[in-house]
Amino acid sequence: MFSSYFREWEVKDEFEKEFICIFDGWLGEDNLHKLDEVTEDEWSKFNTLIRLISKQYKVQLANTKLRTLVEIDNIEHHIPTFEESMNKDSEQFSKFVVPELECVISEDWDYTYILWYKNKDVVAKLAPIIEAAGLYHFHD
């Protein structure tokens, strides 16, 4: 149910955040140029992540405009191309719900996704998948 995870169009405040990124931590001002150097192959690791998660868990897509969760039968229909992703604004960012883990995985700025969870065990369960996709995760 949409309201279990979202208030209006935002993830509820009661969820903790784990950041998933192609970098192993925040870049800082001295390394912001690295954002301009990200390749399509590096970016595609996020699609790999979503594919890997969908192989192990049922995944739903949050439609924040309609305030509904949509069952995903074929994840490939919801995986953007590099070009599509680069041209999105924040209202178009994907928000995936994994009901079995009671978590949300949302696309964000600067080659980062956010894992929203209530139970820290979720991070432990998804860590091997995150790492298998070639990504890093960290808590702020």
- The residue-averaged pLDDT of 84-108 equals 88
pTM for the whole thing?
Answer: 0.91
**Is the pLDDT confidence value at 36 over 90?**
no
Locus of tokens 């699609």: 47
Q: Give, for 42, the enclosing helix (H) or strand (E).
A: helix 40-43
Query: Confidence class of residue 64 from pLDDT cuts 50, 70 and 90?
Result: confident
Identify the CA nearest to 115 among candidates 35, 29, 53, 39.
Answer: 53
**Is the pLDDT confidence value at 16 over 90?**
yes
Q: Determine the Cα–Cα distance for residues 116 and 123; give it in Å rounded to an integer.
A: 9
**Mean pLDDT rounded to a whole number for the chain:** 90
**Is the pLDDT confidence value at 26 over 90?**
no
The Cα angle at residue 2 between residues 119 and 88, in degrees rounded to 5: 95
pLDDT at 44: 92
**Is the pLDDT confidence value at 109 over 90?**
no
pLDDT at 79: 84
pLDDT at 55: 96
Q: Determine the Cα–Cα distance for residues 87 and 119; give it in Å rounded to an integer.
A: 33
Q: Determine the Cα–Cα distance for residues 132 and 34; give it in Å rounded to an integer.
A: 22
Q: Determine the Cα–Cα distance for residues 84 and 137; give it in Å rounded to an integer.
A: 24
Give the domain ranges of the chain.
Answer: 2-24+31-138
More confidently predicted of 10 and 27:
10
